[in-house]
Amino acid sequence: MSFPEVTAANVAPVLQNDRMVKVGGVDVDGQLRGKLMKKSKFLSIATGGFGFCSIIFGWDQQDMDYPKELAICNEENGYRDLSAVPDLNSFRHPDTREPVCACPRGLLKNATAKVEAAGYRAMARVEYELCHFRIPNDRFPASGITSFLQNNSFDSLPSLTEGMFGYSITRSLHSEDYHDGIFDACEQFHCDIKEWRAKSGPGAFEAALQCSEAKDMADKASLFKYVVKAYGIKHGITPCFMAKPRHGLPGNDVAHLSDLGRQFLAGLLTGLPDIMPLFAPTINSYKRLVEDFWAPNTVSWGLEHRAASIRLITPPTANRNATRFEIRVPGADANPHFVLAAIIALGWHGIEKKLEIPVPPLPKGEDMSGASDKSMPLAKSLKEAVATFTRPDSVAREVFGDSFVEHFAGTREHEFRLWEEAVTDWEVRRYIETV
């Protein structure tokens, strides 16, 4: 199915068979937030815009206000509305009239604009790894997983498939209608899946989206996650994009691919420690970035090296035209707009500054933190990552500006403070009788 180019002149005929229009925006956690509009209402605001509450930049993932007053949405400005104009070419996300420093789409557009102004195009592909769970009885539909977990342990949540069987060609048959529905819907939404395969782990699968320009790829990645969750609700399946859902098993990552050269690589490596909250934005993110699971934890790169933070893919193992970088640090829990914006901004920073690659490549057969890995370790927690992100001389401040850094840092500080106050099941089980 192909969509026509939508303009102010033809938007009404394009929607002639529709009654409602879903309008949404992307928040700092990469979640789509929006509303359903009656078609007549949508047509009345399609070019002039409408008021969209700025609270989508003032809430965390559970709709809790950030305790730190942030510039975009706060008590002083009355939790104002932002003027938002739908992006008619996408049918999907609103663009704001006034610049909003925390807008994920705006941040990515600014990053790609610098590349395009120099005559280049930033290309990317996203690969998601995700786990799937089933609700064990009919009392809790897929949308009610939170209710189930209020009275049951996470360990009692069964996986869609059990055991370890990577590259299995039969595992998707356990839920064929679910997988087929995702393929068809993604094609209709123009976020086509290039490959879908079983990963090594209970209920684990990997989806590789079709390569496209980076500024479009992030929208497609967000839509992919929306489609997967929507079809999960229909089929009693809960897809999980947490970076590390279960102890002792591989985590979920996402690989972003680009092709811009040695200085681009130098920019990525130099700035990587400073933008870690964008690549690993949750407490759980850092449970994945540990040794022995092909998950990176140092500023490292290597030729066809799956243990490095950046894997260089080049002939003879790939076609010359397919030479690219695979950035292995971001998890499936990261906001794709922020991730791609960071990759492009850091890479372009390297080109503008003519940076040199700061570390030698990891030799084949050598793991990170091995004898020949002299690389800087990456942050081991969200709190450590935010401290580096907000340093006065952080590369993040140089490429994104102070306003964005302060806003996003405020949202992450809220996240790790909630974690520091939480009493976990592990603590209770370990100490309830022994201290």
* Best-predicted range by mean pLDDT (170-184, 199-213, 342-356, 419-433): 342-356
> In this model, does residue 84 exceed pLDDT 80?
yes
Token couple for 245: 């859902």
Distance between CA atoms of 22 and 6, rounded to whole angstroms?
A: 16
- For residue 230, the surrounding DSSP H or E stretch is helix 214-234
**Mean pLDDT within 193-214:** 88
241 pLDDT above the threshold of 50: yes
Q: Is the pLDDT of residue 394 over 90?
A: yes
Residues 276, 365: contact at Cβ < 8 Å?
no
| Whole-angstrom distance, CA of residue 329 vs CA of residue 294 | 10
pLDDT of 273 higher than 60: yes
Q: What integer pLDDT is reported at residue 117 of this predicted model?
A: 93
Q: What is the pLDDT of residue 94?
A: 35
- pLDDT bucket at 272, cuts 50 / 70 / 90: very high
For 115-128, b/e burial (b = at least 16 CB within 10 A) is beeeebebebbbbb
**How would residue 348 be classed by pLDDT, with cut points 50, 70 and 90?**
very high
Q: Which domains does the chain have, with CATH numbers?
A: 10-100 (3.10.20.70), 127-241 (3.30.590.10), 251-421 (3.30.590.10)
Which pLDDT does position 347 carry in this prediction?
Answer: 94
122-150: pLDDT as tens digits:
999 899 989 888 876 655 554 567 777 77
Question: Which runs of E-coded beta strand occur in 135-249?
Answer: 193-198, 204-209, 212-213, 237-240
Three-point CA angle 213, 230, 126, nearest 5°: 25
